[in-house]
Homo-oligomer: A and B are copies of this chain.
Amino acid sequence: MDIAVLGTGRVGRALAAGLHELGHTVVVGTRDPAATLARTAPDSMGTPPFSAWQAAHPDIALASFADAAAGADLVVNASNGAATLDVLTLAGAANLAGKVLLDVSNPLDFTHGYPPTLFVKDTDSLGETIQRAFPQARVVKTLNTITADLMVDPRLLGASVTVFVSGDDAEAKATVVALLTAFGHDDVIDLGGIETARGPEMMLPVWLSLASTLGTTRFDFKVVR
């Protein structure tokens, strides 16, 4: 498939590289490709500049959000949750229409410091918000409870872990489950419609708490049954 990954951070890079390794043609989308490539210093989290990453991944192109989405069969939203609606608007509703929109974002609000709170929860979710804003996209929420490296290589943990999918379109979910399986996920639970994204999104507080307690983000949840 031709896949657009919207977002140049750790999550976007991991997914872009993972999807490329599976044999897909991947274009990473960003707000301003020239500005993204012009950065030479690590960001505030210590992530190396995108240009350094791209040098190691020469087959993955960089384009504007709109150009990336326009050429894609499937679009991955790997943008910061707070920026997601803006990013998808720039990608363009017409460029998302009819396409699977694999959404891994979380509604984290860092404006009051750390730990972040959730800017949507309980009676709504970011997954639902995206689906309402882009009704012709086929939104599938998944992978939001897992750190970037493990999204595309869950076997790093050496034990089976669980990944959730939520979405209203059964065919879109099947496409996403096939990608997850190709990444090595052996326990995918389909929770139901996009409203079930509330559950995995509300796991972020315990996820952040665990990351702090365990001193690592390399962990994941297994639903034992």
Q: Are A221 and B220 in contact (CB under 8 A)?
A: no
Interface presence of A42 (CB below 8 A)? no
Please provide the chain A residues from 202 to 218 with a CB less than 8 Å away from any CB of chain B in the complex. 202-203, 205-210, 212-214, 216, 218
Least Cβ–Cβ distance between A169 and chain B, in angstroms: 17
Binds B, one of A131-139, A156-164, A171-179: A156-164
Residues of B near A160 (CB, < 8 A) are 224
A223 within 8 A of B: yes
Q: Which of B117, B199, B210, B222 contacts A189 (CB 8 A)?
A: B210
- A196 at the A/B interface (Cβ < 8 Å)? yes
* Cβ-closest chain B residue relative to A121: B122
Residues on A lying within 8 angstroms of B by beta carbon are 117-118, 121-123, 157, 159-161, 164, 189-192, 196, 198-200, 202-203, 205-210, 212-214, 216, 218-225
27 contacts between A and B (CB under 8 A): A117-B123, A121-B122, A161-B224, A189-B210, A190-B213, A191-B209, A191-B210, A192-B209, A192-B212, A198-B209, A199-B205, A199-B208, A199-B209, A200-B206, A202-B202, A202-B203, A202-B206, A210-B223, A214-B223, A214-B225, A216-B225, A219-B223, A219-B225, A220-B224, A221-B223, A222-B222, A222-B224
Contacts of A189 in B (CB 8 A): 210, 213-214
Cβ of A54 to closest chain B Cβ, rounded Å: 31
Central interface residue in A191, A192, A196, by most chain B CB within 10 Å: A196
Q: Complex: how many Å from CA A12 to CA B88?
A: 48
A151 to chain B, nearest CB (A): 14
Q: Which residues of B contact A192 (CB under 8 A)?
A: 209, 212-213
CB atoms of A225 and B117 under 8 A apart = no
Inter-chain contacts of A216 with B (CB < 8 A): 225
Nearest neighbor of A117 in chain B, beta-carbon distance: B122
Contact across chains for A205 and B161 when beta carbons are under 8 A apart: no
